[in-house]
Amino acid sequence: MSQAVSFSGWQRADGRKGIRNVIVVAYLVECAHHVTRKIVNHVNDMDVHLIGFPGCYPNQYAYDMMRAVCTHPNVGGALLVSLGCESMNREKLLSDILASGRPAELLVIQEEGGTKSTIELGIAAVKRLQSEAAAVARVPMQLNELIVGTICGGSDGTSGISANPAVGRCFDALVAADAICIFEETGELIGCETIMADRAVTPELGAEIEACVAKAEHYYRVMGFGSFAPGNADGGLTTLEEKSMGAYSKSGSSPISGLIKPGDIPPAGGLYLLDVVPDGEPRFGFPNISDNAEIIELIACGSHVILFTTGRGSVVGSAISPVIKICANPETYRRLAGDMDVNAGRILEGEATLDQVGEEILQNVIAVAAGKRSVSEELGHQEFILTYKAFEPIGPSCLPVRQIQ
């Protein structure tokens, strides 16, 4: 980029900076979901977001994800709502959030007198949290302090030749500015493992990338399906490999600096691959049951903004971090323009080049980081989903030392 880009962010006590200052209201088991939703609905504020974990039984991944999203730089405070007998360690989660320097409160329905009284207490708690969050200092923030994630959903035959490579151009510009970029969907990168390994900054990292894609392939083989929906075929995609090449094109052409897992925060500017397929033998069903499950994992890795490409059309957004929607198919854009930020279908109709749309996406990232609401934000989309998984810690080869010195 020809000139430095700066905007204002919220300074967090842990040293990170956020581009939003949302309050999350989190249910810690499905039994507390209704009460939590009532609190959020009553407050009725675009910057108060409902999140949660439905499970009653223990899962370290779920705890780690809840901690990561509740202490995300875009989060200014958190209200936890517990039934009282679920396995989520509510006291530790509360302690972890407070230790991050954020205000946080906990309500236990069984101890607060039930539904009505907990809702009333929750509404008052959110107001206190909003007041404290509003006092957080705004500070200058540079482009190289951003973390940007990308995902594709509702892909079709146009995705891999317009929106996805345009995101790749945007990623190349961001990496050149020393920002952090994260791409994922290892289950949709089968067949691309050797290409990605060749881009790795060390041979050891290349071997880790090949191994993680092999793990994904094994997972799908055992489960008896792949990451290929009927809508993908209806949209003109013919094989998983063809879909993989389209998904891969979102990564651009920069060297791959590291391999991370959900909740890992990349240590320095560069391009990172997020491994989203659980470790060990398959036991949890489909690795990510919807696009929003992958979005939340990108957010748990610190993503301030999510670039979401779609060919068939998708209307989802997300809690916590803004989603910028990039439409690959010009016909889809004409039908769903009210849900899209960027029309990459112009490339197919000869009205723009990949470089031009890549620059448009970059300018959208900068504008959203500076406070402009993305379309999905304006429409009130705050989807959130979290399920059971299991991951082992990454090894030293996944983050080469020479990349973080």
Strands 6-11 and 138-142: antiparallel
Token pair, residue 213, equals 């894609």
- 169 and 101 in a common domain: no
- 225 and 88 in a common domain: no
Confidence of residue 241 (pLDDT cuts 50, 70, 90): low
Return the pLDDT at 185. 83
Whether 207 shows a pLDDT value over 90: the answer reads: yes
Return the pLDDT at 237. 54
- 187 and 265 in a common domain: yes
Mean pLDDT of the residues in the chain: 93
- 359 and 329 in a common domain: yes
Q: Is 37 a member of any domain?
A: yes
- 165 and 293 in a common domain: yes
Domain count, the chain: 2
Domain, as residue range, for 85: 6-139
* Percent of the chain whose pLDDT exceeds 90: 82
Of 119, 139, 159, which marks where a domain is finished? 139
Q: Is 67 a member of any domain?
A: yes
Of 139, 173, 195, which marks where a domain is finished? 139
Q: Is 219 a member of any domain?
A: yes
- H or E element, residue 216: helix 203-223
- 196 and 101 in a common domain: no
The H helix count followed by the E strand count for the chain is: 14, 14
pTM of the prediction? 0.94
Cα–Cα dist 230/359, whole Å: 32
Q: Is 405 a member of any domain?
A: no
Residue count of the chain, please give it.
405
What is the domain-level CATH number for residue 103?
Answer: 3.40.50
- 330 and 262 in a common domain: yes
- 173 and 87 in a common domain: no
Mean pLDDT to the nearest integer, 161-183: 96
Whether 239 shows a pLDDT value over 70: the answer reads: no
- 342 and 198 in a common domain: yes
The Cβ of residue 354 has, within 10 Å, a number of other Cβ atoms equal to 18
Per-residue model confidence as pLDDT tens digits over 337-381: 999 999 999 999 999 999 999 999 999 999 999 999 999 999 999
Token pair, residue 263, equals 């909740």
Sign of CA dihedral 80, 86, 92, 96: negative
Q: Is 1 a member of any domain?
A: no
Q: Is 291 a member of any domain?
A: yes
Q: Is 127 a member of any domain?
A: yes
Q: Which of 2-6, 280-284, 291-295, 389-393 has the lowest mean pLDDT?
A: 2-6
- 182 and 104 in a common domain: no
Cα–Cα dist 338/315, whole Å: 9
Pick the more confident residue, 90 or 156: 90
- 119 and 160 in a common domain: no
Of 114, 139, 164, which marks where a domain is finished? 139
- 134 and 13 in a common domain: yes
- H or E element, residue 326: strand 323-327
Dihedral in degrees, nearest 10, Cα atoms 225, 228, 234, 237: -120
Return the pLDDT at 229. 58
